[in-house]
Each structure stands twice: as structure tokens, then as C-alpha cells.
Amino acid sequence: MIDYTGNYSRELKVAIETALEAGAAVRAMYDAVSAETYIKGDGSPVTDADLASDRIVRERISAAFPDDALLTEEGIDDAARLTNRRVWIVDPIDGTQQFIDRTGEFDVVIALAVDGEPVVTAINQPAADQTLIAVKGAGAWVRVGAETMPFRFDAQAADLIRLFTSVYFGAPEALSRLERMCAEIGATGPGVSRWGVTPREFFPTGRYDALIGLYVPYRDEIAWEWDFAGPDLFVREAGGGFTDLHGRRFTYNKQDARNHGGLLMARDPETHARILAAIRDEDRI
């Protein structure tokens, strides 16, 4: 456990313990290939593992902080959260399709937002027994197994930015636009990921320096709050940048729990600023 006694120390402890417990339940079903898959009303998949993780998170968070609100992908949205300063924003399995496809690239994501800003997060990757952890103003950590170490991204070392996007954030529709941008700013790519917001792509062994998500014309929703809240805090506390394509920070616990305006996530402020400038110069919003 992290030896942290600053603001939100109890919230951090509960978030980590809950993410690990939910992650262990998900890993057990993953290893046993025992989770049934269902199709939700919006056409997206959900599995028994999503539901088990959601149940664990709800029980643990509600027991520890009964006055806090919850917003989870697998739960019914309760409008009462809008009058609560503290809201736990949860994706019981971020990457359900990856769970089904057995790629290992899925996570239990838990974040606490206070007054619209994430302040605590624990993101557990069950298949790797790895947890990304962050506290507002205190930094980020990576836990692998029982060992936890402070973490900051390495600055982008070369002039050539390695850019990628996602099948969930504008590929393949936006690839021609991104290819032109890469040529103009001297970036490689764009690579295309099969998953969403994954800070692991920026780790020292990672392949990329920045993730860009372009929204389609006439509809600028790009993802849900539970897709962004945890990675948002971790990336910023690890020294990176995380904004929409206008350079604006995301806010959370909104009436419409979707994110708007595209996404730019980068491993360091210089890379983030360089891409934002290119977007503005070319009027690509």
C-alpha cells in the first residue's frame, strides 16, 4: 500500500483496495472463461464479469462513503448525483470487448471527482496485475503485484512525435485528416489502437507519444465520463497533458455524462502544446 497521508488518503486506500478486489473477481472469470456475454439496449456487450465488478465497487464504495454519489457504466443514472460534490465515477470493465476477445487489454477504473474534477483514481489491469494510481497534487504511482513505485512519464525524446488514434475515437473515418496532420507537424502515424484511453501506451516501453480523438461532424461526443475520469487524473499527475482539442480540461459529474470536443492526451506538456498549436493553425476542430 502507498504510504500516503495527505488529502484523500482514506479515499485512496478504499479506491485501491476496491480496484484490486474487483480486478481479482474479473481475473478469476477471465481465467476460467466462465463469464456469459449479453447485449445491452445500445448494442454494446456486457458480461457477467462487468456485473460482478460493478457489484463489488458499489458495495465497497457505498459502505465506506455512504453520502457520496456513484456514476457507473453498468448502473442506472441517478440524477441526485448532480447535487453531490463528491461522485465516484466507475467503469467496472473498461474494454469489455477486449475481455471477450481475450487480449488482456481491459481495466477496472475507479475515480473520485469532487466539484467536477477527478482527485483520486485507481485503474487495475487484472490480466497483468498492474494498477495505475494517482491523487490530485500528489503524483502518480504504478503498482505491479505487491510493489508500488512513484511514476512519471519520460519526456518525448525525439523531434518526431509518434501519434495514434483509436477505433473508438475517429478511425477509420478521420485517418486521412490525421495523416495530413502528421505530415505537417513531422509526426509518425497515425497508429490505430483497438482500445480507448490507455496511458500504458506512453510507458517507457510504449509505442506512442500522443493520442488524438477527432469527433465526427455534427456530433462532438467522444466518450463517457467513466472512460476519461481515471486516465485524465493519472496522465496529468504523471506529467502529461489531457484536454479536448481546444485545450480545455474536461469536467465531470455533468447532467449529460458524455465528453465533448475531441481528445488530446500526450506524455508531456511540450508534445501536447505542439499538437494543439498544429490543430489551431490548421483549423481542424
Report the CATH number at residue 192. Answer: 3.40.190.80
* DSSP 3-state of 181: helix
Indicate the range of 57-61, 204-208, 251-255 predicted with least confidence.
204-208
Total number of domains constituting the chain: 2
User: How many other C-beta atoms are found inside a 10 Å radius of the C-beta of residue 217?
Assistant: 7
Residues 127 and 169 in one domain: no
CA distance 205 to 203: 5
What number is the average pLDDT over the span 185-190? 82
The rounded distance, in Å, linking the Cα atoms of 26 and 192 is: 26
> Would you place residue 27 in the very low, low, confident or very high pLDDT band (cuts 50, 70, 90)?
very high
- Cα torsion 163, 169, 170, 172 to 10°: value is 70
Does one domain contain both 213 and 268?
yes
pLDDT exceeds cutoff 80 at 206: no
**Share above pLDDT 90 across residues of the chain, in percent, rounded to a whole number:** 64
Assign residue 102 the CATH number of its domain.
3.30.540.10
Alpha-helix residue ranges (DSSP H) falling in 152-282? 175-185, 225-237, 269-281
Residues 140 and 31 in one domain: yes
Check whether residue 84 and residue 128 sit in a common domain.
yes
> What is the separation, in whole angstroms, between the first and last Cα of the chain?
42
> 222 and 146, same structural domain?
no
Give the span between the Cα atoms of 18 and 282, in whole angstroms.
44
For 279, list phi and psi in degrees, rounded to 5: -65, -45
**Is there a domain that residue 156 lies in?**
no
Q: Judge whether 270 lies within some domain.
A: yes
pLDDT band at 191 (very low <50, low <70, confident <90, very high): confident
Q: What's the pLDDT score for residue 281?
A: 67
Q: Which residue has the higher pLDDT, 215 or 86?
A: 86
Same domain, 144 and 187: no
| 107 falls within a domain | yes
Q: Is 1 contained in some domain?
A: no
The C-alpha atoms of residue 19 and residue 56 are separated, in whole angstroms, by 9
- Whole-angstrom CA distances from 227 to 189, 197, 252 are 24, 7, 11
The boundaries of the domain holding residue 256 are 161-281
Q: Are 252 and 113 in contact (CB under 8 A)?
A: yes
Does a structural domain hold residue 111? yes
31 and 145 in a common domain: yes
**Cα torsion angle, 63, 68, 74, 76, sign:** positive
- Evaluate whether residue 4 is within a structural domain: no
pLDDT at 219 exceeding the cut of 60: no
* Cell, residue 97: 470487448
Residues 24, 30, 36, 39: is their CA dihedral positive or negative? positive
Q: What is the tens place of the pLDDT at every residue in 67-105? A: 999 999 998 888 999 999 999 999 999 999 999 999 999
Residue 59 C-alpha from the chain's centroid? 22
Domain membership of residue 2 (yes or no) is no
Per-residue pLDDT at 184 exceeds 90: no
Last residue of a domain, one of 104, 130, 151: 151
217 falls within a domain: yes
Q: Are residues 49 and 132 in the same domain?
A: yes
Residues 22 and 61 in one domain: yes
- Residue 137 shares a structural domain with residue 182: no
Domain boundary among 151, 170, 189: 151
Q: Which of 110, 125, 151 is the last residue of a domain?
A: 151
Are 17 and 142 found together in one domain? yes
Give the three-state DSSP class for 240: coil
Give yes or no: residues 118 and 187 share one domain.
no
